[in-house]
Amino acid sequence: MPDAPADFRVVCRRLEQAYGRRQWHRWGSAVSILVETVLSQNTSDRNSSAAFRKLWRTFRSWKRVADAATAEVERCIRVAGLSRIKAPRIQRILRAIRQHHGSLSLEFLGRMPPDEALEYLLKFDGVGHKTASCVLLFAFGKAVFPVDTHIHRIALRAGWIPARTTADRAHQLMQAVVPPDIAYSLHVLLIAHGRQTCLARRPLCDKCVLQDLCRTGRSAVT
């Protein structure tokens, strides 16, 4: 069973003290964020970023990516892994956007309520809650809360979600309890925490600012 509901404002304040405040800024166009997040699936941030940079340097427009030979796209993104799956997936998404709206733009999502925008993005093959939420959070600042690998791990260890909760289910549970006005800052701060302190192997519980709020942290020092 999960622990009592966390006070995520307290969590956010402590993480800000440890890693600095995080103000929302636009990370790029919605289409660019969508492509980069698809590339990030099942790989490291370093590899997905390298694949994204090479893809953009090679083609310089999403129209050219959509119309390119799939083998060319695959070569560009090989470093991200699963390139034979991701290359056609990205091209299908880009072509569908263009077919539905006449251009390769998702800016209309900014004018939609978050639940409707999520529903639109989730229709694409290979786009789950994390990918769709990243687009809405980083492109438009919408009050959604993506759950990536780091946040999933922290939430399980802290007892914020039940043991063995899947990533998709974790997204739904966390979305329901994270205050909308801190969704962005808490998301990026928890990722920083997962990279620097709550490591996948050998978490640094003795240095964790959330130790007393975390089931695993409290157990580590008893």
pLDDT tens digit string along 128-169? 999 999 999 999 999 999 999 999 999 999 999 999 999 889
SS3 182: helix
Q: Considering only the top CATH level, what class is 30-140?
A: mainly alpha
Per-residue confidence band for 1, with pLDDT thresholds at 50, 70 and 90: very low
CA-to-CA dists, residue 115 to 24, 74, 84, 143, 175, angstroms: 20, 32, 31, 10, 11
Residues 6+ apart with CB under 8 A from 144: 114, 118, 133, 136, 137, 175, 183
- Give residue 19's pLDDT: 97
The pLDDT mean for the chain works out to 93
Does residue 26 register a pLDDT over 60?
A: yes
- Give residue 42's pLDDT: 87
Per-residue confidence band for 3, with pLDDT thresholds at 50, 70 and 90: low
Distance CA 151, CA 147 (A): 6
Q: Considering only the top CATH level, what class is 8-23+145-220?
A: mainly alpha
Per-residue confidence band for 101, with pLDDT thresholds at 50, 70 and 90: confident
Closest CA to 135 of 156, 105, 155, 165: 105
Q: Say if residues 126 and 93 touch (Cβ distance below 8 Å).
A: yes
Query: What's this model's pTM, rounded to 2 decimal places?
Result: 0.89
- Give residue 171's pLDDT: 92
- Give residue 44's pLDDT: 85
Cα within 13 Å of Cα(77), Cβ side = 32
- Give residue 70's pLDDT: 97
Please tell me if the domain spanning 8-23+145-220 has the same topology as the one spanning 30-140: no
Per-residue confidence band for 218, with pLDDT thresholds at 50, 70 and 90: confident
Residue 95 tokens read as 């072509």
- Domain assignments of the chain as residue spans, ordered by start: 8-23+145-220, 30-140
Q: What does the pLDDT average to over 90-114?
A: 94
> What is the distance between the terminal CA atoms of the chain, rounded to a whole angstrom?
20
CA-to-CA dists, residue 40 to 96, 113, 135, 165, angstroms: 21, 26, 13, 21
